[in-house]
Amino acid sequence: MFNNILLPIDHTAPSSWKTALPLAREEAKLREARLSVICVIPEILKLPNLPDNYGDGAAAHVEAELRTIIGDDLPIMVRQGSIYREILKEAHASDVDLIILASPKGDFPDYMLGPNAARVVRHANCSVLIVRS
């Protein structure tokens, strides 16, 4: 049923991958599916008072950080821009069947999703599994 799984994570927030990464690996192995990881970083604005090369190397730095977390066995994509938009664009472009997304537990009565997770759930054209940590 699931052939292509996407796992969005934030390299600076272990809650985004501590529970979701092992679960995504297990699901991919069980389904014999492809698992990819995406990390979205803020877009670096080119302002007139900053050098032309300001922000160069940010994506490479984040990818190196992700390699220490994930290892070398999974494809990693680092995108810049709006978190939910970049996740949805990648899911659509790669024909993703399942997005596995971590969202911390809220305390009663505030069981809620963060704004990016909620937008991904609402607008994805595939299944979305929310992993509570």
Q: pTM here?
A: 0.90
**Residue appearing with tokens 């090369």:** 53
Bridge partners for 63 per DSSP = none
DSSP conformation class of 15 = G
Q: Which CATH number fits domain 4-132: 3.40.50.300, 3.40.190.10, 3.40.50.620, 3.40.1370.10?
A: 3.40.50.620
Q: Give the tens place of pLDDT for each residue, 36-45.
A: 999 999 887 7
Q: Record the tokens describing residue 19, joined without a space.
A: 């529970």
Separation between Cα atoms, residue 114 and residue 102, nearest integer Å: 10
Helical residues (DSSP H) of the chain, grouped into ranges: 20-31, 58-70, 83-93, 115-123
Decide if pLDDT at 109 tops 60.
no
DSSP conformation class of 43 = P
Which carries the bigger pLDDT value, residue 113 or residue 24? 24
